[in-house]
Amino acid sequence: MTLIIDCGSTKAEWALLDGKNVVLRFVSNGFNPNFCDEKMISEIIENSLQNIDNQNVKRVVFYGSGCGSKANQDKIKAIFKKALNKAEIEVYPDTLGACHALFGKKAGIACILGTGSNACVFDGEKITESVASLGFMIGDEGSGCHIGKRIVHDYFLGLMPADLRAKFDEKYHLDRDKFLKKVYHGEQPSRFLAEFAKFASENIENQYIRDVVGGCFEEFIKYSLMVSANDNVAFVGSVAFAFQSVLLQQLGNHNIKCEKVLKNPMDGLVEFYKN
């Protein structure tokens, strides 16, 4: 059997394939090895593997955010190897997972807009160019974290319209000191900040919200989207899917055509490995 995992900072999706049949699918907490310690990662993986008959797993294919470096790939491999010592373990960056899910073996530009963001050029076999990932504090333009930061920034500085501010107060009851403590001392601040993107999704018909989200996507296009004429461009991720009307509008402003928008990569990855 082949175990496929697509792991983002917020959640991870797991699928177990027996030949071309999916025998199990489930969701767990996600993680990014750049921001989570080995203990937390081990607990998430070990708890998730309790759902699976480990003896029958011959191959593990793990795609994860923060897994572009060999050091992080080796860290994830070692954790899986403790529980699945007879299985072949493969660890790849989430960008390659997006490529396989969106394009299979076809060339294109794969874009990820979830808790974080990224983009890369895929030639049908390998990634030939990718954006330098700078993390949520400096980069991740267009991501849920980026949108969440903009929303909270405007809330605290009084830039959010009064009617929305009242709704925000009612929903979150934010205390500035507690908020800052979670951002600067919490375990997964990018996930925490991305939670505020849900407020944007719930109020997307408001013009202020559309302007905020559109501005975040505009920064993604400006800094991350390496597009030229006739390129196949496609997006994957919860943020791309939730805000796709705004995303498509921003892309249209630059005459960029989007081939597809997937909520998550797993459906595409399952088809890729079935074939």
Whether residue 157 is contained in a domain is answered as no
Q: 34 pLDDT exceeds 90? A: no
For residue 92, what is the domain's CATH number?
A: 3.30.420.40
Alpha-carbon gap, residue 275 to 268, rounded angstroms: 11
Task: Specify the pLDDT at position 230.
Answer: 59
Whether residue 61 is contained in a domain is answered as yes
**DSSP state string for 40-92:** HHHHHHHHHHTTS-GGG--EEEEEETT--SHHHHHHHHHHHHHH-TTSEEEEE
Strand pairing report for 2-7 and 59-64: parallel
Q: Among the listed ranges 32-36, 40-44, 234-238, which one has the minimum average pLDDT value?
A: 32-36
Whether residue 78 is contained in a domain is answered as yes
Whether residue 161 is contained in a domain is answered as no
Residue-wise pLDDT tens digits, 95-144: 999 999 999 999 999 999 998 898 999 999 999 988 877 777 787 899 99
Whether residue 171 is contained in a domain is answered as no
Whether residue 58 is contained in a domain is answered as yes
Contacts 24+ apart (CB under 8 A), 202-210: 203/164, 203/167, 204/243, 204/245, 204/246, 206/161, 206/164, 208/160, 208/161, 208/164, 209/164, 210/246
Which residue type, as a one-letter code, is found at position 66? G
The H or E element spanning position 220 is: helix 207-224
Whether residue 120 is contained in a domain is answered as no
- Number of structural domains (the chain) is 1
Whether residue 204 is contained in a domain is answered as no
| Torsion from C-alpha of 137, 143, 145, 151, nearest 10 degrees | 110
pTM (global) more than 0.85: no
- Give the pLDDT band (50/70/90) at residue 75: very high
Give the mean pLDDT of the chain.
Answer: 90
Domain of residue 84, residue span: 2-104+266-274
Residue-wise pLDDT tens digits, 157-216: 999 999 999 999 999 998 899 989 988 988 778 888 999 999 999 999 999 999 999 999
